[in-house]
Amino acid sequence: NAGVTQTPKFRVLKTGQSMTLLCAQDMNHEYMYWYRQDPGMGLRLIHYSVGEGTTAKGEVPDGYNVSRLKKQNFLLGLESAAPSQTSVYFCASSYEFDRGLKHEQYFGPGTRLTVT
């Protein structure tokens, strides 16, 4: 199993450009998440999905959109990139264990995005 993969690994954008980050998992997990990581702020949840065709907002959703058209893929889009979106982006997936509790999250290697 490849686990969770992210494409691309690095990207530099100019302000106003758009791009899509792709996350793929081969573990048949229902839940998928997009986080951003900034120095001193830990991980902040952008959007998440509890199943194919469903998405929901996390803590910092503004400026991002997501889609989950296939169970194994979770796309994160930036329609008009801003310097404040310079960050490292992590995708994760998980599954429900029991009693409504989620099992551990499996993380991808990250995408380092710089917006100039």
Partner 1 sequence: AQSVTQLDSQVPVFEEAPVELRCNYSSSVSVYLFWYVQYPNQGLQLLLKYLSGSTLVKGINGFEAEFNKSQTSFHLRKPSVHISDTAEYFCAVSDSWDTGNQFYFGTGTSLTVIP
Provide the binding-site residues for partner 1, judged by CB under 8 A.
31, 33, 40-43, 45, 48, 50, 56, 58, 90, 92, 94, 97, 99-105, 107-110
In angstroms, what is the minimal distance from the CB of 32 to partner 1? 10
In angstroms, what is the minimal distance from the CB of 68 to partner 1? 13
Largest CA distance in the chain: 45
In angstroms, what is the minimal distance from the CB of 110 to partner 1? 5
Would you say 70 or 103 has its CB closer to partner 1? Answer: 103
Backbone angles phi, psi at 86, to 5 degrees: -65, 120
Please count the other Cβ atoms lying within 10 Å of the Cβ belonging to residue 55: 19
**What is the distance between the terminal CA atoms of the chain, rounded to a whole angstrom?**
36
Q: Which of 114, 106, 116 is nearest to 5 (CA)?
A: 106
In angstroms, what is the minimal distance from the CB of 80 to partner 1? 27
Would you say 73 or 95 has its CB closer to partner 1? Answer: 95
Cα-based torsion angle of the residue sequence 100, 101, 103, 104 in order, rounded to the nearest 10 degrees: 140
Would you say 53 or 109 has its CB closer to partner 1? Answer: 109
